[in-house]
């Protein structure tokens, strides 16, 4: 059984009875299609196609079914049981509403079910205040189908099971405890409301009378240092105590990690054999077999010629080893760029397919150029054994894959292997041909055991499912048997669509028609990896700048959202996630001159990148690790906000420009992350407050001060309107700082007025 949502759990109430299945009846439904009556969901016959309720009305939100529990109950889960196999009417999107009466229902859950035969369970999350783990007792459950898995089909529910507690004594205990919790939370909302209006002294009386605590004592100290005294030194000490107590855990968990780059091995000079020279247009693959983890590198372009060498890098020993300086002489492929290479763990084999050939000489040929006998070029196909009886040997699997039903000669294509089924898949790539019109390949499958090729579908313009492209991303999830395809270029245009392909059936699904945030980086020099445990795709893209590492983006597969990661070099310096010259066209002697490649080690959670523009900024082999933020970073960000606000108040109370400049440079400057565009802009904008400083000593509301101490900025006498403005701005700062602190330690996030109106 599969959960679609995980509820928070805690110790719960004392003497909690066991959760069990709750009895219910059907009290109403919007409509039904014969013979799929509403009461059929009480049955549990997976193999009976009529054992379900099916709506007659089509359209999101128009169909519904209401279930009445036998007793007032505390709900735990609702389980949707399914047909014994996928079905076009299977419920896809839906809502669940609950309430103590049928006319007062509230939305509890909105989600999706998968089109398979695995039961899925929704856990009811509490909607009450505070950290109470249960919800109010309910009597009615309303399920609203929004869509079926196949368009134009009516949604069906096969069987429903509701679990929870209906013991009357326990239900009353839950109701009483929840009521107490709500009263306590309501009092905290009142206390927050009074504090926001400068009535903190009233909260002292409430605390003494009701013993209701608004927040953790450390947060109360923070309020005093920030709002009452604006003592940034004392406030920073409080923040360090909060960090030591684990008070930033939720905030740090919500922050994106940093992509930290470290050079692990420098590339060799051309002609040296202790390590590969820098190059572009090469390929990498990772062998993580029982005999160790090795990275293999083949071919590329060194700025002058195509390279015929083949290398292995031992990750544990951090050492390169040359396998061949001339692969063709050893029975392998000749020098090449723009090819694809992948590793099959089951047969301990590396497969190599394709290459780039400059066909301009044939397009612009004169009498002095010898033309090939036909418009097509043969596509050879090789395998290298990394272990076993034939370890270290090459095998030419095909002289010409196109002649055997496979792809023509390609460059810029992508290739993945499903080791379990022993199938190799090739998608896209530009076809190498003498024709002036650019042609692109579709999806091909190679049966490793049978040594046979089969086209699954062609380019979309020739009736295929997906528009073909080159220099795209193609990632295989072997467990789910799905392939992700996105990005790339076609005829010079960058593509920003994303597809998921079901490998066994060949059925494609459009995930996103356009990814506008990636429009600037999709294209050539694009490499990506799939980290299945985290459910993430990580994308590396060329910055075309020797001053910047390649940009790193990540996508959460479940949400489809992309975000750039902050990039940090091994020496601690920062670089922008995108180089300033990303879209800048440069003169290239080879279209793959700036292409690097990336592999991912699932065991160590490290990314390895090699190559790029010869002589460029990413020379050699680099390891990239994603590092989460630590508590010190949260303290630094709070320091910047505190000192920034202190500086603004200082500028309103002094005419000493030199003192203000010193505070800006010596006190605020060390807290600024210069790699953050937002923080840098905020820091530079502080100069305008110096220009607004009081003009002189004649202003009765201002006083000259000495250079401010590190611990505090004095508070001066102002009229009532100015005092109110100072309090309001400090209160805004305090509530901004609260966002860094654990919700369980701070005042409620809700507002009293929102609850009342």
Taking CA atoms, 621 is separated from 276, 525, 526, 610, 715, in Å, by: 10, 16, 17, 5, 56
Q: CATH no. for residue 491? A: 2.120.10.80
Confidence band, pLDDT 50/70/90 cuts, at residue 582: very low
- The per-residue pLDDT for 84 is 93
Q: Does pLDDT of 358 surpass 60?
A: yes
Give the containing element (helix H, strand E) for 502. Answer: strand 498-502
Domain boundary (166, 201, 233) is at: 166
Half-sphere exposure of 403 (CA within 13 A, CB side): 10
- The per-residue pLDDT for 144 is 95
Among candidates 210, 255, 188, 249, which has minimal Cα distance to 747?
Answer: 188
Strands (DSSP E) found in 503-620: 508-512, 526-531, 536-541, 551-556, 561-564, 567-568, 574-575, 596-601, 606-611
Q: Are 637 and 619 in a shared domain? A: no
CA atoms of 226 and 98, how far apart (whole Å)? 43
Q: Output the CA torsion sign for 12, 17, 20, 26.
A: negative
Q: Are 219 and 298 in a shared domain? A: no
Residue 193 maps to a domain: no
Q: Are 109 and 18 in a shared domain? A: yes
Q: Does pLDDT of 710 surpass 80?
A: no
CA atoms of 106 and 219, how far apart (whole Å)? 34
Q: Are 508 and 388 in a shared domain? A: yes
335: tokens are: 């020098």
Dihedrals phi, psi of 711, to nearest 5 degrees: -85, -25
- Average of per-residue pLDDT values in the chain: 84
703: tokens are: 């006083």
Tens-place pLDDT, residues 391-420? 999 999 999 999 999 999 999 999 999 999
CA atoms of 470 and 458, how far apart (whole Å)? 14
Q: Are 279 and 377 in a shared domain? A: yes
Give the least confident one: 317-321, 381-385, 541-545, 609-613. Answer: 541-545
- Over residues 135-163, the mean pLDDT reads 91
As a residue count, the chain comes to: 757
Residue 659 maps to a domain: yes
Q: Are 240 and 347 in a shared domain? A: no
Q: Are 598 and 714 in a shared domain? A: no
- Over residues 599-611, the mean pLDDT reads 92
Residue 203 maps to a domain: no
Q: Are 6 and 44 in a shared domain? A: yes
CB 391 within 8 A of CB 385: yes
pLDDT cut 90: percent of the chain above it:
57
394-398, strands of its sheet edge to edge: 340-344, 349-353, 381-385, 394-398
- Over residues 491-512, the mean pLDDT reads 84
Confidence band, pLDDT 50/70/90 cuts, at residue 588: low
- The per-residue pLDDT for 15 is 61
The residues with which 384 forms a beta bridge, in sequence order, are: 350, 394
Q: Are strands 120-123 and 2-3 parallel, antiparallel or unpaired?
A: parallel
Residue 176 maps to a domain: no
The residues with which 87 forms a beta bridge, in sequence order, are: none
CB 660 within 8 A of CB 654: yes
- The per-residue pLDDT for 364 is 54
- The per-residue pLDDT for 18 is 87
Higher-scoring residue by pLDDT: 340, 508: 340
In the block, tokens 């440079």 appear at 665
Tens-place pLDDT, residues 257-285? 989 888 886 666 566 678 898 898 999 99
- The per-residue pLDDT for 587 is 46
- The per-residue pLDDT for 93 is 92
Helix, strand, or coil (residue 88): coil
Alpha helix locations (H) across 509-554?
none
Residue 358 maps to a domain: yes
CA atoms of 281 and 299, how far apart (whole Å)? 8
- Over residues 169-198, the mean pLDDT reads 90
172-210 exposure pattern, b = at least 16 Cβ within 10 A, e = fewer: ebbeeebeebeebbebbbbbbbbbbeeebeebeebeeee
- Over residues 421-431, the mean pLDDT reads 96
Confidence band, pLDDT 50/70/90 cuts, at residue 131: very low
Q: Does pLDDT of 21 surpass 60?
A: yes
Residue 750 maps to a domain: yes
CB 407 within 8 A of CB 415: no
End-to-end CA distance of the chain: 42
- The per-residue pLDDT for 126 is 67
Q: Are 390 and 538 in a shared domain? A: yes
Taking CA atoms, 527 is separated from 552, 553, 610, in Å, by: 10, 11, 11
Give whichever of 97-106, 569-578, 688-697 has the largest mean pLDDT.
97-106
Half-sphere exposure of 569 (CA within 13 A, CB side): 13
In the block, tokens 């090819």 appear at 339
CA atoms of 755 and 228, how far apart (whole Å)? 28
Confidence band, pLDDT 50/70/90 cuts, at residue 685: very high
Taking CA atoms, 634 is separated from 84, 572, 594, 637, 640, in Å, by: 51, 18, 37, 5, 10
Give the containing element (helix H, strand E) for 635. Answer: helix 631-653
CB 395 within 8 A of CB 385: yes
Higher-scoring residue by pLDDT: 110, 578: 110
**Residue 72 burial by CB count (10 A; 0-12/13-18/19+): exposed, middle or buried?**
middle
Q: Output the CA torsion sign for 668, 673, 677, 679.
A: negative
Confidence band, pLDDT 50/70/90 cuts, at residue 579: very low
Confidence band, pLDDT 50/70/90 cuts, at residue 702: very low
CA atoms of 160 and 430, how far apart (whole Å)? 51
Look up the pTM and report it: 0.71
Residue 327 maps to a domain: yes
Peptide bond into 35 cis (omega under 30): yes
132: tokens are: 């109470």
- The per-residue pLDDT for 590 is 72
CB 135 within 8 A of CB 11: no
The residues with which 73 forms a beta bridge, in sequence order, are: 138
- The per-residue pLDDT for 718 is 54
Q: Does pLDDT of 60 surpass 90?
A: no
Residues 6+ apart with CB under 8 A from 364: none
Taking CA atoms, 593 is separated from 284, 342, 495, 523, 588, in Å, by: 15, 21, 21, 14, 7
Domain boundary (592, 627, 662) is at: 627
Higher-scoring residue by pLDDT: 656, 383: 383
- The total of structural domains in the chain comes to 3
Q: Are strands 91-101 and 120-123 parallel, antiparallel or unpaired?
A: unpaired
Q: CB neighbours (10 Å) of residue 719? A: 10
- Over residues 619-644, the mean pLDDT reads 92
CA atoms of 333 and 279, how far apart (whole Å)? 18
Give whichever of 4-18, 212-226, 587-601, 717-731 has the largest mean pLDDT.
212-226
Q: Are 162 and 67 in a shared domain? A: yes
Q: Are 581 and 718 in a shared domain? A: no
Q: Are 275 and 413 in a shared domain? A: yes
- The per-residue pLDDT for 495 is 87
Among candidates 236, 158, 265, 130, which has minimal Cα distance to 646?
Answer: 236
Strands (DSSP E) found in 87-179: 91-101, 104-112, 120-123, 138-148, 156-157, 159-165
Per DSSP, 18 falls in state P
Residue 538 maps to a domain: yes
Distance of CA 209 to the CA centre of its chain: 48
Tens-place pLDDT, residues 461-478? 998 889 999 999 999 999
Domain membership of residue 249 as a residue range: 215-254+632-756
Domain boundary (593, 627, 661) is at: 627
Among candidates 83, 89, 97, 106, which has minimal Cα distance to 147?
Answer: 89
């Amino acid at each position: 059984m599969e959960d679609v949502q995980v509820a928070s759990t805690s110790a719960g109430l004392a003497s909690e009875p066991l959760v069990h299945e709750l009895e219910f009846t059907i009290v109403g439904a919007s409509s039904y299609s014969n013979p799929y009556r509403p009461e059929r969901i009480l049955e549990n016959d997976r193999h009976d196609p009529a054992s379900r309720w099916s709506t007659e009305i089509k359209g999101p939100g128009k169909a519904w079914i209401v279930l009445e529990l036998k007793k007032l109950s505390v709900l735990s889960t609702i389980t949707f049981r399914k047909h014994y196999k996928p079905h076009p009417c299977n419920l896809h999107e839906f809502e669940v509403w609950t309430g103590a009466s049928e006319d007062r229902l509230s939305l509890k859950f909105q989600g999706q079910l998968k089109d398979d035969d695995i039961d899925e369970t929704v856990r009811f999350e509490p909607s009450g205040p505070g950290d109470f783990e249960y919800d109010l007792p309910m009597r009615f459950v309303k399920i609203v189908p929004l869509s079926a898995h196949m368009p134009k089909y009516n949604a069906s529910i096969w069987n429903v099971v509701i679990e929870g507690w209906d013991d009357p004594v326990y239900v009353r205990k839950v109701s009483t405890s929840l009521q107490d919790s709500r009263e306590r939370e309501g009092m905290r909302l009142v206390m927050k409301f009074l504090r926001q209006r400068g009535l903190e002294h009233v909260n002292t009386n409430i605390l003494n009378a009701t013993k209701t605590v608004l927040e953790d004592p450390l947060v109360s100290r923070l309020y005093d240092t920030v709002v009452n005294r604006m003592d940034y030194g004392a406030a920073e000490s409080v923040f360090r105590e909060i960090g030591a107590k684990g008070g930033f855990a939720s905030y740090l968990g919500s922050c994106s990690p940093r992509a930290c780059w470290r050079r692990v091995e420098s590339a060799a000079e051309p002609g040296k054999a202790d390590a590969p020279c820098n190059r572009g247009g090469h390929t990498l693959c990772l062998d993580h077999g029982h005999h160790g983890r090795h990275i293999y590198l083949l071919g590329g372009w060194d700025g002058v010629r195509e390279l015929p060498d083949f290398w292995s890098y031992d990750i544990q020993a951090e050492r390169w080893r040359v396998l061949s300086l001339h692969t063709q002489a050893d029975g392998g492929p000749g020098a090449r760029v723009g090819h694809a290479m992948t590793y099959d763990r089951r047969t301990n084999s590396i497969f190599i397919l394709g290459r780039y050939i400059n066909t301009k000489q044939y397009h612009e040929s004169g009498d002095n150029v010898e033309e090939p006998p036909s418009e097509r070029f043969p596509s050879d196909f090789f395998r290298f054994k990394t272990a076993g009886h034939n370890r270290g040997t090459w095998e030419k699997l095909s002289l010409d894959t196109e002649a055997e039903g496979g792809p023509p000669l390609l460059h810029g294509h992508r290739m993945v292997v499903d080791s379990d089924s022993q199938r190799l898949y090739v998608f896209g790539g530009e076809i190498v041909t003498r024709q002036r019109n650019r042609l692109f390949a579709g999806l091909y499958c190679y049966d490793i055991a049978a040594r046979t090729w089969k086209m699954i579908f062609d380019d979309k313009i020739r009736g295929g499912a997906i528009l073909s492209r080159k220099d795209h991303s193609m990632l295989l999830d072997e467990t789910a048997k799905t392939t992700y395809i996105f990005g790339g270029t076609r005829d010079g245009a960058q593509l920003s669509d994303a597809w998921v392909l079901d490998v066994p059936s060949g059925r494609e699904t459009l995930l996103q028609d356009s990814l506008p945030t990636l429009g600037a980086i999709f294209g050539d020099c694009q490499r990506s990896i799939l980290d299945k445990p985290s459910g993430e795709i990580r994308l590396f893209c060329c910055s075309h700048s020797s001053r910047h590492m390649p940009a790193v983006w990540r996508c959460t597969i479940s949400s489809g959202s992309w975000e750039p990661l902050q990039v940090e070099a091994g020496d601690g310096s920062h670089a922008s996630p995108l180089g300033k010259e990303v879209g800048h066209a440069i003169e290239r002697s080879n279209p793959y001159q700036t292409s690097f490649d990336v592999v991912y080690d699932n065991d160590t959670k490290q990314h390895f990148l090699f190559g790029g523009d010869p002589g460029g900024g990413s020379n050699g082999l680099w390891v990239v690790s994603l590092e989460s933020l630590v508590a010190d970073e949260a303290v630094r960000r709070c320091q910047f906000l505190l000192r920034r606000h202190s500086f603004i108040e200082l500028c309103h109370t002094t005419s000493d420009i030199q003192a203000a400049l010193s505070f800006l440079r010596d006190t605020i400057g060390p807290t600024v992350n210069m790699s953050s565009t937002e923080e840098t802009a905020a820091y530079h904008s502080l100069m305008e407050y110096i220009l607004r400083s009081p003009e002189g000593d004649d202003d009765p509301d201002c006083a000259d001060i000495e250079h401010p101490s590190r611990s505090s900025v004095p508070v001066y006498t102002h009229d009532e309107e100015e005092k109110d403005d100072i309090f309001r701005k400090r209160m805004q700062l305090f509530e901004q700082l609260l966002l860094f602190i654990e919700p369980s330690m701070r005042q409620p996030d809700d507002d009293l007025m929102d609850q009342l109106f």
